[in-house]
Structure 1
Amino acid sequence: MKRRPHKVISVLLLAALIAGMGMACRERSLEIRNKRWEENAETVTQNSGRIFGDEPENLYARSAVLIDADSGRVLFEKEADVIRPMASTTKIMTCIIALEYLKEHPDQTVEVSDQAVSQPKVHLGMQRGEAFYLKDLLYSLMLESHNDSAVAVAEGVAGSVEKFAEKMNAKAAEIGCKDTHFITPNGLDAKDAGGVHSTTAKDLAKIMRYCIMISTEKETFLEVTRAKEYQFQDTEKKRSFSCHNHNAFLDMMDGALSGKTGFTADAGYCYVGSLRRDKRTFIVALLACGWPNNKGYKWKDTRKLMEYGLEHYQYREIDKKMQIPEIKVAGGVDDKKPYQYCLNVPVKIERPAEENFKILIRDGEELRAKLELAKYWNAPLKKGEKVGMLTYYLESQKIAEYPLSIKKTVKKRTVWWCICWVVKNARL
């Protein structure tokens, strides 16, 4: 049976109409596609803002900082970006570089040089030509803060103090320290063409965070720095040595985790330490915290800052069930809705299902979620294609962000698709 020409024409006209309306919708979408829609999609916590009347006051330290070790967020600061000498707190960087080196060279030994022997007190009392296992010297370095051991460690890892300092500065840059300059592995006051051996309280806290939270050798770092005492010998077993931990903070507060003291004439008393309690980990860094005879100031400041963190900051789980609006896709096709030219397509948050998104927060802080999404898109779009971003802010600091992606593929509407659909569904 022959098809009637007028019905064929009708089919083509209908297909053209469907396609034409899709093109019109597409042109409209092109006009507005690049307009971004930004809004505070959900304010997780509504507060009046950060106005705290009980922050730590009257600290002895000229520079101080308290950070959340999990996120790295600064919780309190006092001249935290001022560059100052840091004395033997330097040795946390020396230790972590050596530990990462020992992972590949576990039985590394070092022969004591004239430069190591010449270091001032506090020192182990090495003799030129003696040999030690590098891993043993790390206990001398961190428990007793021996300056000769620091030089021996540096020479054992890099061949010279100068080359080891290059490693220290490279690691500092990797960690994100912007105002730190290392010259010596032991922290003695020094100056070179690059400036003074120095850091900031904020950078020092970042280095400690790397040591206990990020480095592949973080557990070994904690093992070394938490040891109460340690005995070892030179490689020929001619002399024996005993080291005792002088970090009084370890016995001062429940949950005290690690730390390192320091003192030089230029730096004054310094300290960097960490504490973990109720799944919260805090780091305190202090620079220029008194001079003789005020050795105890650093412990008073550390306790005050740690207690402030413990009292005011708690973890709160963030709601994962945020409703993400659908996007409109112009020029797409849906076999079940052939006359709908702008399709509503669902979007999802690309966040691991097992992730437990928590944030350390205190009363008075505002946590908000910002949704950035283009309302209109043009077909084709592939399933999983990124169409926006969900960003969480605590006050003005970005703390997490997750891409938004399309849940299904949307094919492009064409004249040929329209003809095929009409032929398939019309009786000619």
Structure 2
Amino acid sequence: MQVRNRIAARFFHALAFVALSVSLAAPAAHGAEKKRAVAAKKPAVSATEKRPVAKSSDKQARKTAEVSRGKSARVAVTLSKGKTTTTRLAARSAKAPLRAVAFTPPPQSFGKIAGLHEVQDPLSLQSSVALVIDQDTQEVLLSKNEGAVLPIASLTKLMTGLLVSESRLDMNESITITQDDVDTEKFSRSRLSVGTTLTRGELMHLALMSSENRAAHALGRTYPGGLEAFVARMNAKARQIGMRSTHYVEPTGLSSGNQSSARDLAQLVSVAHNDALLRELTTSPGYEVEVGSRTLQFNNTNRLVKSPLWDIGLQKTGFINEAGRCLVMQAQVSGRKLIMVFLDSAGKFSRLADAERVRTWVEQRSHPAGHMLARTEHGNS
């Protein structure tokens, strides 16, 4: 009897478990059936629709592959404030490798081509041409290739200024810089843009002090008869004052066709020094001009005019590759009025260094005992 009761109890327990399992499985089956029905109603994804975004590593790999094949890719750039922007990365095509750009050295000066730098002098000057003359006695203190005819660069402007000064033209007349004044030979830069209007006096100041090319060209262009008449007058004036080896083709010095010798230039300096306006403008340390709403500061191209060691009455610098660095000056040294000419100097500051060598040399010749004492005191300090 007890055995029969235990069997009956186990039967009812099993029956209850089966009933419970069926009741739990029915909702899950219903949910799965519902999902299948919804999926069946959803349309298939078109081939033209956007695909899921790939992982960042996959995208970077594709971009790297595209760049290596010569394509371009957009890359994300994070800005300083956390924002992100995109930029296109241009790839270098394998068919167009980078090519080295050949360096073209500037052309040699005429003096160097002629071998004038090989000529020695007592002061070991860096200029291939040099001449130092006592202005009063015409005594030649130093001479080196003084007869060589070379391009003179912006030393040309000294003749330009002399003619404008002697012409007695109105220095207050307004002159406008035009396209004709733009350098198309050396393509030199200028702070005087086309359309700038200054007085003739202001242009003279800039041409002689700062060696402003457009200013000098405008002075020649507005001369009575025009530029051609001005150049003809330059050559006539050169012959008049004894510059027999000199020839001018334009008023700025940008052309290597403007040529002269140290001997001729010394004569020009002597004549120009008699003009008070040229003495003032060439030795002016700096000058300001009003250009529209701006004030432009120009400075002298010769820093020696600011030196307390020098008493310069007139000066002019010049440079183009064909001429090298050039300098002419009238200065008082040890009580003597000297005219100095340096042409075709090799370095940027060597023409000024040559002038310093000459000044020291002249002072030593004039006061040898004083210089010996100075050297002795310096050695004992």
TM-score under structure 2 length normalisation: 0.59
Alignment partner of 1:162 is 2:231? no
Q: Select the structure that is richer in strand.
A: 1
Identical-residue share of aligned pairs (%)? 25
| Structure 2 counterpart of 1:222, one-letter code | R
Q: Which residue of 2 aligns with 1:137?
A: 203
What's the CA shift for 1:162? 2.3
What's the CA shift for 1:295? 0.7
Q: 1:312 to 1:229 in 2, by over 3 A?
A: same
Match of 1:98 among 164, 169, 178: 164
> How far, CA to CA, are the matches of 1:307 and 1:168 in structure 2?
35
Match of 2:317 among 255, 261, 267: 261
Q: Which residue of 2 aligns with 1:249?
A: 304
CA deviation string 1:212-249 (max 9, x = no partner) = 1x3xxx22111111212112235xx5554321112112
The range that moved more, 237-246 or 82-91, is 237-246
Whether contact under 8 Å (1:56, 1:304) holds in the other structure is no
Q: Which residue of 2 aligns with 1:108?
A: 173
> How far, CA to CA, are the matches of 2:270 and 2:362 in structure 1?
16
Q: 1:141 to 1:264 in 2, by over 3 A?
A: same
| Structure 2 counterpart of 1:254, one-letter code | W
Match of 1:181 among 247, 266, 270: 247
Q: Which residue of 2 aligns with 1:209?
A: 270
CA deviation string 1:245-288 (max 9, x = no partner) = 12112234332333111111111111111212454211111111
Whether contact under 8 Å (1:121, 1:146) holds in the other structure is no
Q: Which has the larger radius of gyration?
A: 2
SS at match of 1:110: strand
Q: 1:175 to 1:313 in 2, by over 3 A?
A: farther
What's the CA shift for 1:169? 1.1
Match of 2:126 among 43, 60, 77: 60
> How far, CA to CA, are the matches of 2:355 and 2:124 in structure 1?
13
| Structure 1 counterpart of 2:177, one-letter code | V
Q: Which residue of 1 aligns with 2:284?
A: 227
Whether contact under 8 Å (1:123, 1:145) holds in the other structure is no
| Structure 1 counterpart of 2:178, one-letter code | S
Q: Which residue of 1 aligns with 2:348?
A: 295
What's the CA shift for 1:311? 3.8
For structure 1, the 5+ residue unaligned runs are: 1-54, 191-195, 315-428
Whether contact under 8 Å (1:123, 1:149) holds in the other structure is no
Residue-pair matches, total: 244
For structure 2, the 5+ residue unaligned runs are: 1-120, 368-381
SS at match of 1:299: helix
SS at match of 1:288: strand
SS at match of 1:162: helix
CA deviation string 1:125-163 (max 9, x = no partner) = 2314x4321100112112221111110011122443322
Whether contact under 8 Å (1:99, 1:220) holds in the other structure is yes
Task: List aligned pairs for 1:267-306, cutoff 5 A.
Answer: 267-277=323-333, 279-290=335-346, 294-306=347-359
Whether contact under 8 Å (1:83, 1:199) holds in the other structure is yes
Q: 1:203 to 1:140 in 2, by over 3 A?
A: same
TM-score under structure 1 length normalisation: 0.53
Q: 1:309 to 1:168 in 2, by over 3 A?
A: farther
Alignment partner of 1:121 is 2:177? no
Whether contact under 8 Å (1:60, 1:289) holds in the other structure is yes
Q: Cα RMSD between the aligned structures?
A: 2.2
What's the CA shift for 1:84? 0.5
| Structure 2 counterpart of 1:262, one-letter code | G
Q: Which residue of 2 aligns with 1:70?
A: 136
